Amino acid sequence: MRLLLLSLLVLGSCSSDEAPAADQARYERLSLRPERARPRPAAKVVRAFTPTLEGSGWTVESETKRIVTHGSALALHLRGTEPRQVKVDADIAMSAFNRVRLHAIFGGRLELELRLVRSGQVAWRQSQNVNAGLGPQALNFDLPWSFERSGRLDHIELGVRGGGPFDLLAFELLASPIAEWLPLPEDGPDMVSIENESRRGVGLVPTCPLVGEVEVTEATERLGFAIGKPPRLETGVKGVQVLVTVGEGAGSLVQQVRVPDKQQWLHTTLSLAPFVGRSVPVRFEIQGAKGVPTACALANVELMRPGAPAPSIVLISSDTHRADHLGIAPGDVEVDTPELDELATRGVLFEDAWSTTNVTSPSHVALMTGVHPRDSRVIANTGHLAEEAPTLAEAFADEGWTTLGVVSVRHLGPRGIGLGQGFDRMRDPPGEPWDAVNAVDFLLHYVEETSGSPTFAWLHLFDAHDPYAPPEDYDRRYYPKGKNPYDTSLPEPGWQVGSYPLHLTPVRDTAFPAAQYRAEVAYLDEQLGRVFRHGRLKDGWFAFTSDHGEILETQGSWYNHGELFPATLHVPLILAGPEVPIGERCEAMVRQADLGRTLLDVAGLGGVEFPGTNLLAEISKSKDDGGPRFALSAGGFSAAVTDGRWFLVLTLKEHSSMLPRARASHEVELYDLAADPECQQPVDDAARTRALRSQLIAWLEDASEESFAGHKPISAEELASLAALGYAGDMPEIGARRWIDPDCACEHCVPWR
């Protein structure tokens, strides 16, 4: 959801109609508007190609192909498991278009590769991966502005791989104005990504200078902004300038700022001392070579005044971090986490917090929206959060807080699941995941930039995720010295293929990966000490949790989080900060997804609408209070309910999920957590199974009719990045309208009816 910037926000203890105290920091986001009215930029269709009954100009290679109708339109229907290809003759100047739009209906998970052939050679190609969707979808393939557009197009080729049917409605060649390739000022700012940094900004083009107004109250105030040029807007033209004008007439301040030629953001500040006591106009204009498309992004336009430290909240999510892997946690796990332990002693440790699911992106969507995956229907790392979904970052931003995000895997950033919504600045890695030192460095750099503003920051760490490869100082810290875990004289573990990560195949000592996992946790704990002691943050609020846990060994499944078990749902949760009870341990059953509501409340924003309940209200409750809790697995394959000591899993779709035994559709398993916390042996209790199963199905049936799941193609590069993390098959369809038929008459359902 695009954030509508507030034209004037005075932050701190004074009200918005009072001047801030002289020693108080001041921060405002400035809203910008086009200097003059202009037609809304829109792409023009240069040529359209639609299938015909005769098929003239179309060459199709497919096992099954035929012309079908969708309403009044004809479509080319392709079906089969082998690669399919469509070629369309298209004699047109390459300079006439810069975007190819594909209109189609996708009936499954498909990989599409679009190729433009010029002079008999492939001049350009781009791949996108798509999921099945409801009704026709429009897919854009954008040629970068630097693409050589000489000559004429021979034909368009489309390669299709993957199962499921595919109905092609049309190809369109479009001429898209450069202004359409960036967020329009009329719509408000949106995230713009340059390399691995995204900022909230708008497009600046020569035909449309942007203007705003700023009221200057103190000589120390400065105007800050960032400019940059996304890769696809690269034209090869150097020396492009942005002319910044503050004030009017002879007393105005004019400065030229060069748009970086490299792919990076340039952050600049200008002193506003000459304008104290005045409300003055601000104007941004881009200047480039005539006749060459020129544009840049203008982001984070802010008024800043240094002063007394403003409040801060830091939300830390440690990926794949088991609840028992804290030194202070109940149990006897050998792991050193002095920084997190100290944080817990000055706040609240929630000993029985559970996640909503067992996979990274859907869990973080629940954390950042307060909405369960059952209702958001974002159920895979390749899913996408719709712009309409309200997020925790947006809630803070709308109240005038600066919002910062640093995530250690790309698929959690703006270029992935879409969790950049509401953040002013966000960083994600360009390729391999970052380790904790990199992520913490970036966060602290951002924090220094925003010392004058109330700040909500999200830090995501990936160190505890497989593969467990701690840095040299921590490598084998918890493994016996001199012992070789790969010693071929040791007996083979007897792991079943499919129930463990394949890279562990050479390991003979099954205790070794668990030891390395603990070393990763100890390492990230050390890095978090820099965050907890940072001068800007140390007196603020900290929340520490995880998206899900990890199976170290459950039912013959090793070192993964492929199914719903206590090991994958039980997560650490610590909250500390001003007015948070000190040294408390909460034994009640709580839900990690309630953390967003809690953070807004402790920040004094209790009146802000956001789902969930305040976790601090749970402190006085007993161990068995707080249930039931429900979970939905990655891909929607399973659902689970926990009520007191009882844990029931219902298989929604047949799957194996790295388990030695495949689960059949609608199979049900009941476990007694008090007697069997690792869920090794199902309990035969028909009455309790029937009651919990009915409760779980009723919960599934009560799912919201609305959905936060959006349609977004994923590039081949992004899919390869996910595959490298072990998510190669993690691209299911968007969550079903109905999770299960309560009247199903299959062999696994009939006994419980």
pLDDT tens digits, one per residue of 538-565 = 999 999 999 999 999 876 788 988 899 9
Edge-to-edge strand list for the sheet holding 121-130: 58-61, 84-93, 152-161, 110-118, 121-130, 714-715
pLDDT at 728: 46
Task: List pLDDT tens digits, range 683-725.
Answer: 999 999 999 999 999 999 999 888 887 655 555 555 455 455 5
**Helix segments in 533-675, DSSP class H:** 566-569, 595-602
Q: Which of 405, 397, 400, 387 is nearest to 445 (CA)?
A: 405
The more confidently predicted of residues 134 and 189 is 189
| Two structure tokens written together for 59 | 């060459």
**CA angle at 189 for the pair 187 and 194, rounded to the nearest 5°:** 130
Q: Specify the 3-state DSSP secondary structure of 623.
A: coil
Nearest to 448 by CA among 540, 536, 541: 536
pLDDT on residue 718: 55
Q: What is the reported pTM?
A: 0.88
Domain boundaries, the chain: 26-41+180-305, 44-176, 312-622
Q: What is the mean pLDDT of residues 639-660?
A: 91
Task: Establish whether domains 44-176 and 312-622 are of one fold.
Answer: no
pLDDT of residue 45: 96
4: pLDDT confidence band, cut at 50, 70 and 90? very low
Q: Which two tokens stand for residue 162?
A: 């993957």
Query: In sequence order, which residues have a C-beta less than 8 Å from that of residue 6 and are 6 or more positions away?
Result: 28, 29, 31, 398, 400
Q: So what's the pLDDT on residue 556?
A: 78
Average pLDDT over residues 592-618: 96
Lowest mean pLDDT among 450-454, 506-510, 512-516, 690-694: 450-454
Sequence-ordered list of residues with C-beta below 8 angstroms from that of 650, at least 6 positions apart, any chain? 638, 639, 640, 666, 667, 668, 693, 696, 697, 740
CA distance 137 to 73: 14
Asked if residue 9 has pLDDT above 50, the reply is no
Q: Which of the two residues, 656 and 587, has the higher pLDDT score?
A: 587
Q: Which residue has the higher pLDDT, 109 or 406?
A: 406
Say if residues 459 and 516 touch (Cβ distance below 8 Å).
Answer: no
Q: Helices then strands (H, E): number in the chain?
A: 10, 38
* Dihedral sign, Cα of residue 297, residue 259, residue 289, residue 255: positive
User: Looking at the DSSP assignment, which residues form a beta bridge with residue 585?
Assistant: 349
Whether 39 has a pLDDT exceeding 60, the answer reads yes
Residue 582: burial class (beta carbons within 10 Å; 0-12, 13-18, 19+) = exposed
Q: How far apart are CA 544 and CA 733, in angstroms?
A: 31
The pLDDT of residue 82 is above 90: no
Where does the pLDDT of residue 417 fall: very low under 50, low under 70, confident under 90, or very high at 90 and above? Answer: confident
First to last CA, the chain: 43
Q: What is the dihedral of CA 667, 673, 677, 680, to 10 degrees?
A: -30
Per-residue pLDDT at 1 = 34
Q: What per-residue confidence (pLDDT) applies to 10? A: 28
Residue 106 pLDDT class (50, 70, 90 cuts): confident
Backbone φ and ψ of 441, nearest 5°? -55, -50
User: 26-41+180-305 — its CATH code?
Assistant: 2.60.120.260
The token pair that represents 505 in the structure block:
């195949």
pLDDT in tens, 230-267: 988 887 778 889 999 999 998 899 999 999 988 899 99
Q: What is the per-residue burial (b if ≥16 Cβ within 10 Å, else e) of 480-492?
A: eeeeebeeeeeee
Q: What is the pLDDT of residue 736?
A: 52
DSSP readout, 682-720? Answer: ----HHHHHHHHHHHHHHHHT--S---B----EEHHHHH
Q: What is the rounded average pLDDT for all residues in the chain?
A: 88
Give me the sign of the Cα torsion angle 355, 550, 465, 377: negative
The answer to whether residues 196 and 230 touch, using CB atoms and an 8 Å cutoff, is no
Q: What is the reported pLDDT for 11?
A: 31
Encode pLDDT of 428-440 as tens digits. Answer: 998 789 999 999 9
Q: How far apart are CA 364 and CA 348, in angstroms?
A: 21
pLDDT of residue 721: 55
Task: Give the up-direction half-sphere exposure of residue 208: CA atoms within 13 A in the CB hemisphere.
Answer: 25
Residue 488 CA to residue 362 CA, distance in Å, equals 40
CATH superfamily of 44-176: Galactose-binding domain-like (2.60.120.260)
Please state which CATH number belongs to domain 312-622: 3.40.720.10
Tokens 């971090």 sit on residue:
321
**567: helix, coil or strand?**
helix
464 neighbors 524 (Cβ within 8 angstroms): yes
Predicted pLDDT of residue 16:
35
